[in-house]
Amino acid sequence: MLTEDHIIDIWTGMKEFFDKKAIETVASKYIDILADNGVSDHVLKAAIGGDEDLDAAIEYYLDDWDGEDEIDYESEDYDSDEE
C-alpha cells in the first residue's frame, strides 16, 4: 500500500523529467491515477506539504470530488441533460 511518503518520493523523483509547462497537467494525472487505483483521500491529504505542484493537484482533486458529492441526483431539479 502506498503511503504519503511513497507518493511524495515517486513524484519528486519523476518531476525533474517533465517539461515545466506540463507539470500541472502531469501532477493532476498522477493524482487521478493514484485515486483510481485505490489511494484514499486520507492518504492524499496526508501527502500535502511535500511539493507545491503536487499539493495543488491534490487540493484540486479533493475540492472537485467534494463538489460532486454535493449533487443531489434524486432531486426533481436535477437534469442530467443540462449543459
How large is the average pLDDT for residues 67-77?
49
Domains: count for the chain: 1
Domain membership of residue 30 (yes or no) is yes
Domain membership of residue 79 (yes or no) is no
Q: Is the per-residue pLDDT at 80 higher than 60?
A: no
Q: What is the largest CA-CA distance in the chain?
A: 49
How large is the average pLDDT for residues 49-55?
97
**Cell 449543459 sits at which residue?**
83
Give CA–CA dist 52/57, Å, rounded.
9
Nearest partner of 27 among 50, 5, 43, judged by Cα: 50
Domain membership of residue 77 (yes or no) is no
- Percentage of the chain beyond pLDDT 90 is 75
Residue range(s) defining the domain that contains residue 21: 4-69
Phi, psi (degrees; rounded to nearest 5) at 17: -90, -5
State residue 81's pLDDT score.
52
Strands (E) across 1-83 are located at none
Domain membership of residue 75 (yes or no) is no
Domain membership of residue 17 (yes or no) is yes
**Cell 503511503 sits at which residue?**
3
Domain membership of residue 36 (yes or no) is yes
Residues 21-51 have pLDDT tens digits of 999 999 999 999 999 999 999 999 999 999 9
